[in-house]
Amino acid sequence: MKVACYLRISTGLQSLANQRAILEKYVSDKGWTCDYYEEIESSRKTRPIKAAMLHNLRNHEYDGVVVTRLDRFARSSRELILDVDEILKKNIFFISVIDNLDFSTASGKLHFHLMCAFAEFERSLIADRVSQSLQRLKSEGKN
């Protein structure tokens, strides 16, 4: 198996060493080969290393993606759901080592769908609150 290992830190003051050690051990224990994608000083909108990895995944260069934790892969639940859903639809597995999640297994798929349901529920609640606030402001004669 050949996998893509994605590591991310937010600033250059942090280190990828802990993430790399965890991923190296996990991949070695499985007997897989891995290409490392190391994102340093990533902002919310620009993550060129992740974009390159996703491009390579779309070209089926890897059997799976391995990360240390879900929050290292995505900055929001929406981003996580969209990216992981795309990966899984291409029959590429996704594993988060520390979170002990493997979205290719039956229980992992259930966990992923529950996360999706909660994210959708949260979006609906936010939309309801915004709508209620706009209605209140309108009734008070405010724009």
Half-sphere exposure of 66 (CA within 13 A, CB side): 26
| CA-wise closest residue to 93 among 16, 32, 39 | 32
Q: For residue 141, how far is the Cα from the chain centroid?
A: 43
7 phi/psi in degrees, rounded to 5: -125, 145
29 phi/psi in degrees, rounded to 5: -60, -30
Question: How far is the C-alpha of 61 from the C-alpha of 8, rounded, in Å?
Answer: 21
Q: Is 131 a catalytic residue?
A: no
- Map residue 45 onto helix, strand or coil: coil
Residue among 10, 42, 77, 104 flagged as catalytic:
10
Instruction: Report, as residue numbers or ranges, the catalytic residues.
Output: 10
